Amino acid sequence: MRGYKFLRADMRSGAGDEPPWETGGKREIPTDRIKDIRICEYGYHASPTLWDALQYAPGPIACLVEADKAVQTQNDKWVSASLTVIKAVNVERELRLFATDCAERALCIYERKHPGDDRPRKAVEAARDFARGWITKKALAAARDAAWAAARDAARDTARDTARDTAWDAAWAAAWAAAWAAARDAAWAAALDAAWAAARDAAWTAARDAARAAAWAAARDTALDAAWAAARASEAKWQREHFDEMFGGVFK
């Protein structure tokens, strides 16, 4: 059976102390340890889709793998007694771009509250330029610092405001929560930089603080709950479709 997993840049797994994987190399659990195989605990893990594998990614190496059979399975991964890496591709650039695409969709939350402040948007743009090799780490760090400053300013401003437009704020906050989840899971430590700073510390802080007093309390209301769920579902659908479009040809 075939599946997918991610490895760190050095071709090592995210857990354990095994040596780096090699393309074509097969590994097997010792016969006397097969009884100890448990999903999330012991054995060789993989996922049925690359999207599922992304949720557990420790690094940028996307792998197409093969196992004799699964010992245990759950919705988004399985564990086996053996595993072979058929193909491995470094998709760091693509993951950075995916993260910035997700973060960019949430910028309107911040910009609606702070028109004219383009620091978070510039940070996202810098993250995208860095992924493409157009700017240096120094320039990326400068954009990141500006986004942090924007986040601090936004926190002070929203603390003085009253929460309004409850349903609107809640729906956008829900959309942002989904976007942030994708950005967080796609952009691990290597891709934090400006994308995280722009999204987490600007847009999310602004949306959360603006909606907290009314939207969080009103979340018990059926209509508001429906708006929240619909926004999350819509954003999650877009993320999955965009991911499949970007990564569908990775192993071709």
Query: What's the rounded Cα separation, in Å, for the pair 82 and 5?
Result: 14
Please write the tens of the pLDDT for every residue from 73-97: 999 999 999 999 999 999 999 999 9
Query: Where do the H-state alpha helices sit in the chain?
Result: 50-54, 92-105, 107-113, 119-131, 137-160, 166-186, 193-198, 205-211, 217-218, 222-247
- Is pLDDT at 196 greater than 70 in this prediction? no
Mean pLDDT of 217-241: 74
- Backbone φ/ψ region at 133: left (φ over 0), alpha (ψ -120 to 50), beta: left
Identify the pLDDT of residue 212: 46
pLDDT of residue 191: 41
C-alpha dihedral, 189 to 194 to 200 to 206, nearest 10°: 170
Among 50-64, 83-97, 147-161, name the one with the lowest average pLDDT: 147-161
Question: In whole numbers, what is the pLDDT of the chain averaged over residues?
Answer: 78
Non-local (6+) Cβ contacts of 65 within 8 A are: 2, 3, 4, 5, 46, 83, 84, 85, 86
Output 20 or 217, whichever has higher pLDDT. Answer: 20
- Please state, in angstroms and rounded to a whole number, the distance separating the CA atoms of residues 88 and 62: 6
pLDDT (0 to 100) of residue 193 = 44
pLDDT tens, residue by residue, 13-46: 987 788 999 999 999 999 999 999 999 999 999 9
Domain ranges of the chain: 2-90, 93-247
